[in-house]
Amino acid sequence: MTEYSAPRRDIEFVLYELLDYEQHCQKLPNGSEVDRDTVTAIVDECGKFCENVIAPLYNIGDKEGCQWEDGNVTTPTGFKEAYEQYVEAGWPSMTHDPEVGGQGLPESLETVISEMIGAANWPWAMYPGLSHGAMRTIGLHGSDEQKQAYLTKLVEGTWTGTMCLTESHCGTDLGMLKTKAEPNDDGSYRITGTKIFISAGEHDLSDNIVHIVLARLPDAPEGTKGISLFIVPKFLPDANGDVGDRNGVNCGSLEHKMGIHGNATAVLNFDGATGYLIGEANRGLNCMFTFMNSARLGTAIQGLAHAELGFQNSLAYAKDRLQMRSLSGAKNPDGPADPIIVHPDVRRMLLTQKAFAEGGRMLAFYIAFHLDTEKYGSDEEKALSADLLALLTPIAKAFMTETGFESANLGMQVFGGHGYIQEWGMEQNVRDCRISMLYEGTTGIQALDLLGRKILQSQGELLKRFTKIIHKFCQAHQEEESLKEFIEPLAQLNKEWGDLTMHVGLAAMNNLEEVGAASVDYLMYSGYITFAYLWARAAVVAQGKLDGAEKDYYDAKLKTARFYFQRILPRTQALAVIIKSGADNLLAMDEEQFQY
């Protein structure tokens, strides 16, 4: 079975040495109270909860799965008790507004906590994870009455939330949805329709489940402009705000899935269920984007989580597993063979996992800092952070899940045949990770959003906001001889990024299909450069601390950065060639020619 240990030292490195969390917190409400000792204690306690409570349930959840009977769902052994401990410890309320029962800590801390919980047990993590998106949506778009009725219970953790978008005939194309919302005389609505693929849609962990549902009013215009957003609770609140009568929403079945068996992915039937409009009528998709962006960043953390879990377990196995002798001479002469970690190809796999896990952590926390700043910074800081979040969200979601899946596969590969059997849990990590590239918008959808909507529609301005930051960083360190191996290729790629973008933009002026043809390769290209910027920053920090007390740690950080730049970053060269090859090689073949 898999084992998990919270990466406390690396979390500390990213927060305090790479991103200067102490200075960052000084700009936030109550930030002066968030000193390093407090954060260290929070990370340590969450690490213990993850290691001792939910990590041991990871393989159990996969074997038992969730059980459906007459519309009710029972979660695997230990899940409910773990959730009770989670609520009792106050984890759901940590980063929310004290006015609704929160503790008022920076939102960025939620990312740190989410990584550890997700890496320890992603299927379990999805239950509280979906609730955070529901909280943000109601908090930003709900009425005062809705906040009082639902937000306080969600923050408390006694109620959980979901996001209900998908229907059997429409996934990404939400303009096709058919779920109806008919007005009642009391200002509520009758919601009728069926939603599928609803993560944590029905379970026994909480007293109530608050569904955030997209539906269409009777007089709504066609397409996405005619979608409204509703709160549809499993149980209607009574006069005291507690669980009251059962609403007309029921779980028709659970999906039979490739992975994440410990999380209930439900088919939900809304049979005239009572719902309450959030925000303006026919503006539901705008409100839902709050939830969707939250979910996309959460899914990026899933990629990081599976990379970390795969790395930790394959590293431990590689140190212990004896196979063959090193080509340069025996490294374990007293044993029958050498540990496989001495072999170059095994090191290639381990270092790739390490580079993606640590790079993903840097990007996830970097984005979390900008979430704080977008909310609490000056007007100028808010504008910059909003632009960076618009650019980096699709990159993080798609790139971190693609590389997370690559890492999970490499983790299984390190185990050889043992990785393919259930005993070690590595095949579970691969199965559980695979969904991350599909839900909350596939890699292709994220790529179209990045290249078409964010970059080309802004005439490249969103990209320039980020490349300017990279440019200034490279300028600041260009004269440092010890860093040239990082700064020079980063500066070159940063310029090429702009040139490549212009190439695609010009090609798209003659044929719009060029955008779709280039998009996924362009996104991956962008992800490799984004990681390179963060790894270069890490190298700067590590280089300056090689003479200190933790020389081995910083030396390892520097060597991982070097591996990334020399072994992984060159993938951008092939991607640039592919992007420039254009759309013709994809579109030249007639549909009939695909079939033999």
Domain assignment of residue 545, yes or no: yes
Alpha-carbon span 200 to 197, nearest angstrom: 9
Q: Which of 398, 402, 373, 393 is nearest to 385 (CA)?
A: 373
How confident is residue 171, by pLDDT bands cut at 50, 70 and 90?
A: low
Residue 273 has a pLDDT of: 98
The yes-or-no verdict on residue 450 having pLDDT over 80 is: yes
Residue 506 has a pLDDT of: 97
Residue 31 has a pLDDT of: 82
Residue 175 has a pLDDT of: 62
The yes-or-no verdict on residue 147 having pLDDT over 80 is: yes
How confident is residue 173, by pLDDT bands cut at 50, 70 and 90?
A: low
The yes-or-no verdict on residue 430 having pLDDT over 90 is: yes
Domain assignment of residue 133, yes or no: no
Residue 543 has a pLDDT of: 97
Q: Which of 125, 139, 121 is nearest to 56 (CA)?
A: 121
- The tokens describing 231, both together, are 């709160």
Percent of the chain with pLDDT strictly greater than 70: 99
Domain assignment of residue 83, yes or no: no
Number of compact structural domains in the chain: 1
Domain assignment of residue 9, yes or no: no
b/e 282-321 (16+ beta carbons within 10 angstroms → b): bbbbebbebbbbbbbbbbbbbbbbbbbbbbbbbbebbeeb
What is the domain extent for residue 583?
A: 461-587
Residue 1 has a pLDDT of: 86
Percent of the chain with pLDDT strictly greater than 90: 91
Residue 69 has a pLDDT of: 96
Per residue in 387-403, pLDDT (tens digit) is 999 999 999 999 999 99
Alpha helix ranges (H) inside 415-435: 426-434
Domain assignment of residue 149, yes or no: no
Domain assignment of residue 49, yes or no: no
Per residue in 342-374, pLDDT (tens digit) is 999 999 999 999 999 999 999 999 999 999 999
The yes-or-no verdict on residue 170 having pLDDT over 80 is: no
Per residue in 254-309, pLDDT (tens digit) is 999 999 999 999 999 999 999 999 999 988 888 777 767 888 999 999 999 999 99
How many residues are there in the chain?
596
Residues classed as catalytic: 440
Per residue in 32-45, pLDDT (tens digit) is 889 999 999 999 99
b/e 95-115 (16+ beta carbons within 10 angstroms → b): bbbeebbbbbbbbbbbbbbbb
- What average pLDDT does the structure give for the chain? 95
Dihedral pair phi/psi, residue 232, rounded to 5°: -130, 95
Q: Kindly list the distances between the CA atom of residue 266 and the CA atoms of 200, 245, 254, 295, in Å, as whole numbers in the listed order.
A: 7, 21, 5, 17
Domain assignment of residue 386, yes or no: no
